[in-house]
Amino acid sequence: MDSNGKPRRVVITGVGPLTPIGIGLEPFWQGLRNAASAVGPVERFDPSPFKSRIAAEIRDFHPEDFLEARRVRRLDRYSQFAVAATRMALGDAELDWAREDSDRVGAMMGTALGGIASAEEQHARFVDGGTAAVNPALALMVFPGAASCNIAIEFGFTGPNATNGMSCASGTIAIGEAFRAVRRGDADVMVAGGAEAPLAPLSFGAFAIIRAMSTRNDDPGSASRPFDIGRDGFVMGEGAAVLILEERQRAVARGAPIYAEVVGFGTSNDAHHMTAPLPDGSQAARSIKMALADAAVAPSEVSYINAHGSSTPLNDPTEVSAIKRVFGDHAYRVALSGTKGYYGHALGASGAIEAAICALAIARGWLPPTVNLTTPDPACDLDLVTGSGRDLAPLITVSNSFGFGGINAALVFRHPDD
């Protein structure tokens, strides 16, 4: 509670994106404005055994730009992403972390697969050369909690710390839990987001085997196409995004840049199936309703939704059904983007990337388009943003994330001066 006995307000003061369309805030924003997909042929490994051979890779990431060389060797790529995105977000927030009370700064992160790529690589070394060939840091590289723990170690943050593994909703849940921590006074500043580096043969192949991914190998740039009648599965991506969540009064007092206010969070589970969503979308709808209720926001006040929009045959129309359940007739007046056409589906990082987009939409007055949407599915008949995007300054936005295991999560953001 604040000095007036009210729940503390939480604002976003820093954004650190690390994605296939741009590393850092301005390159990422320019990537969105370019309205082009970063999906291409897999180069990280030989994908020929699989029907799907495309992905959204980050090709110009140099971990030494963000970490000491000795640290780079001890961190899986997904942890490198997490630390790098945090460093960029802290810089963007103009936060001098060395001068902060470390007990009042924490980290909440999300990831679906953690350090699985390092596990695969080191297993191959073990088969070829025995234990002597294995990186001694392996056990510390693979566990999912390495993301938030390495952030804490790198920057000296001793406050609340956790990494959740709730599949494709992980980043959204991490931001939601960080929001709650600041609101109830457990911390003054929280680093929050998601990181994912799943592009390794076994993990990639596991999704290919269950036919969840697009096989549009001859035209990868158009493969991820949320809400389009021609969609045939998601495209795996990698990346990270970190937001700096800060108690509003202290952010204002230090003159911090403020993008948006986090005002609501809701989560639920379909309790239905590990891969298929509940067909009627009722639990996905409930997570959105919970977030709106938490925010004390009426559905009619929302003007933009960044959809989960995975580009899968089942998920997209189910999400539209959920939105209609929540918003009724207003659903047709809410602008909707599915942005995975840009950067693929970065699993546990996707929700964090899309939360960043919602905050930037509020701050900069522009909505990104649904890349590759040429013929909307008749079942997805909402106001889908297309073309080169839309000039609109939304006062209230919603970000949806739905994942394997039936997990649903939603966040609500408001203009900080509203």
Q: What amino acid occupies position 161?
A: N
Q: Which residues pair with 390 in a beta bridge?
A: 367
Beta bridge pairs of residue 305: 336, 398
- Tell me how far the alpha carbon of residue 160 is from its chain's centroid: 20
Residue 262 DSSP one-character state: E
Q: Among this protein's residues, is 345 annotated catalytic? A: yes
Instruction: Please tell me the distance from the alpha carbon of residue 375 to that of residue 124, in angstroms, as a whole number.
Output: 44
Q: From the candidates 168, 272, 330, 358, which is the catalytic residue?
A: 168
Concatenated DSSP letters for 187-212?
Answer: -SEEEEEEEE---SHHHHHHHHHTT-
Q: Given 62, 273, 345, 415, which residue is catalytic?
A: 345
Distance (Å, rounded) from C-alpha 345 to C-alpha 87? 23
- Written as six digits, the tokens of 290 are 């919970």
State the DSSP H helix or E strand holding residue 105, giving kind and residue range, or none if neither.
strand 105-110
DSSP-assigned beta bridge partners for residue 17: 241
- Per DSSP, the three-state class of 308 is coil
HSE at residue 201, side-chain half, CA atoms within 13 A, is: 11
Pair 138, 115: CB distance under 8 Å: no
Of the residues 149, 308, 358, 380, which is catalytic? 308
* Residue 14: half-sphere exposure toward Cβ, Cα within 13 Å: 28
- Distance (Å, whole) CA 157 – CA 183: 18
Q: Among the residues of 258-339, which ranges form H helices?
A: 282-295, 315-327
Find out whether 303 and 394 touch, Cβ atoms under 8 Å: yes
What type of residue sits at position 103?
A: D
- Rounded Cα gap, residues 215 and 233, in angstroms: 8
Inter-residue contact 212 to 128 (CB < 8 Å): no
Known active-site residue 168: yes
Question: Which 8-state DSSP code applies to residue 67?
Answer: S
State the residue for tokens 């970190």.
242
Catalytic amino acids? 168, 308, 345
